[in-house]
Structure 1
């Protein structure tokens, strides 16, 4: 929120279809949840929308729709019910049932919960997960904030924005997504084998924290420390922090926190039954997932007729087995197991890092080395807002190395009028022109070339993508061919003919200039008459990480752009944050537009009802930034600030969002004071 306090939401009080929006239930960096009334049915509902800055992110919009599908396909009283997915003039909305009792996170603010209080809630969470898993939905973001409660303590799981549907995404490798403190080891490692057992691990961490008031690892050491603890460290049992937890409950809960998914509970029903037995809960389980029977060999009567004797025991049957034969059988079984592992071992994709290059797999950002199922995968790399895509074949037991690199592109530029060479100049991205013909060296990115002579004024956009080919790209030829040798001059001037691009010496179909032909001055008709300026220029100056758009047309690099005279809306944008202004373009004039990326100072302090004001660790965007009182300087973008220290808790909102927007002004932003109220946590934290 800008200056800490969010601006008034223009949708409050408005009607979206048949829904009357009454207020904001929650707001995050990617979405807003509104409280509304269904005027047709006269019932309260919740409307979830996409933040304006994310509406152009195709992957995020797809994820938003996936969330609606995931929630809608689960029929359970313990999953927030989806009523509709609506496209409106205000954007895309998920219409959901309204839950009025807060969240488990809110309930946990009162301190550790005794097992007798937690178990009825935990049981309902497991019933909700069982229903989701049964239809192939994996939540992937189970945490206290995503467990909603009604006023009568009915649990409703929500926020399926990271859910995976088994029928559509079973072979998709996801990047690390979710809330780090509640991730499973396979989620932290971005393994493609992630399945419903990951939700059971996250639920185990949620239950652990609710039971003793803390997680089984230290959250103050930063993201890397938490990731290592989740993947490698042995967790202490909850009895280490609370004497109220029985050994049976602790042991049953710790089974859900095994690092290896195969060692955990294999279903939500199994976990529910084990916890119920540990806590002596007589409540019926209601539903059961059938377990696969263990196939045993048919019984063989023993020699002495003892029905209790194991029929297959060699000692009981008097059938000695040679040790050598046993060794051979063991070796054979070991070989079969190793061979089976080798045959089913996935392949790997190693993405070679390069400065300024980002990789995407199936629309998700990825990096490093990934384990993938054998088959063909689409890899896209992005550099300077220009992308290239390749189909990559991954085979079992092998690592496929993929490198996408930015390269300079040689471009030979020439101009002709009526088939004859035309003396002209070319300006690249608004820089000083050079005489044609010329060979240009263009870096990876989007470039604007303006070719100008007495009779030609043409603008061409040239994209230079990164490439998966280790060899530099061959030179391209760009020939501007203009003039149509009219029988007599056109009224008011001449018309610029089509532009033809040639790549590698071969002609490609003619490409029209990127703007309408300029009009020559009316006082001297004919191709040689002086040109009166009919266009203006916008000279863009952009700070790193900031883009500029003019009436919605994006500009991602510095340089000059031609525009017809008039008034336009200019917008500086960095991620979801933007600032707009109006600019006027005059004929023949240059209008400078600068987008700045200011820094903002945030002063963080704490207050306390205790006699001694405690210090707290300040964490910004997951990284430790010293102790209170302190000040941090934040770059442009959206940031989260929290304070934490073992033995203390925050009273009220424990996370504040601070926006540092891009600006048209170079004036510094005013500092932001942040004050958190803290208190000593109850014993056991």
Structure 2
């Protein structure tokens, strides 16, 4: 049956620089179009927000905020957000166009063999890891929001978007709870407002369950209330109940993601990804995985191409062995090549086959020529020991490998320079020599170390330092004489205070050179503290913060400023005009919310046949014309509002 296409008045038209080619889909949130970016000659997807949602100021405000955050994510496994445009036809989000279908489409053909599913799962978890790292929670992970490109890669879409309420349990629900019912976490079903990233891990666990079992552990014929109760209260059967070929360990990993209590699940996407990578399961049949001693890397070739036989793999340097051979997949006998799929415990690791770079993890696929059956495989990443091994493959078969990269053992250095130089130095309670002997450096393992400097007749000096791998820290100490009063050589510990620091947007913080985790209380000595705030794009800023003994101080350092731009007629009514920020067109609209980084920014508006008559800046009139704003990072959250008033030239 051929589905009848509904005519759409925008197809064939150019909207805000995008030529709309066809309708890709319609949903509760609006319509998705395939379009061409006319200026850049590239295909994009335009999602037009439903007008009812576009009139909801709270939705639009949250939508803009999350779209800006998503635009900063550089992940190959997330559909990229290019722009957010307010046009005369409504609010559009401009996204990367992905040629392919959804995971829902793929599951119409039945469950996915677990050996083929594992590389897809690794990519999905990496996508969540990237999003969660910048504070984005999806809230609606499900197969229809996971796209599979024609090349076999994963693209997660629809991050953080609220949906219209639907009566159907297979649609998205947002009356008090947000998500899609079958895939909702128990805390979503309960309507809790304290959702965190672990809710996404549950929803992905349910998606993985369906990928492997071909079923959901939920009775779809029961009513909505019964489904909600089963999610919150009932125990689900493992996916191996539906598919006897699933390894029990794989079922166990999936069921841990579906724990009712968030504290019982995996606590991060990285932890969950590592659990899948560590799977040690033997497929059904006569295949086996053997972990052998290190230092010799070889694989025994099967003696017959017509029959499956054990593949023995020997681990790489420093006792690191291949964790799992996920499967041999039988291709059609006529296939002239084999497919090697390599996954690793660390993303961004480079994979080499016979000395040629073939890509980066979490998942790399490589077609092996028919005349090549033994391959030298190397996986390496800075900060980790490389893994080298030799694998054997047969033409017409596929092999999936998961490797663990061990962290490279590195050291940190500490140099102690004391006055007097014959003072004794103690590290973590153990004497290590006199200061005169440690003026250059002392090699220590990375981590936190207690340092004391003692000498008779002087007050003992002590402090604690956290050393990173490869770091060299120089400590200069001047001991205080006790004055000959015969008192103790101990001095009371210095008065302390508590600092709780945050960076907006996300970044890192150090106090007196020591890392302080954003949002967590750091205990410091009272007095002026040198605090450095570091942002990956905007660089770093150093401020002096004074804390008094016993004080608890909480501060947020803002790198960006929020700017609201409005275009009005003299009467105050909204009017369309093209808004420019730093010479870049932001689109034709009446209102625009913009986030500005540090530095000078120029804002102006234009409309053919109209002239600018006056401008208000933060409620006060200013000279008409382009407006220059300077954003300076600081503790006060900067925000600005510009109102441009225009009228027809002949008025």
Q: Please give the range of the TM-score, normalised by the shorter of the 2 chains.
A: 0.3 to 0.5
Q: Higher strand share goes to which structure?
A: 2
The two structures have a TM-score, normalised by structure 2, of 0.41
The structure that has the greater radius of gyration is 1
The two structures have a TM-score, normalised by structure 1, of 0.39
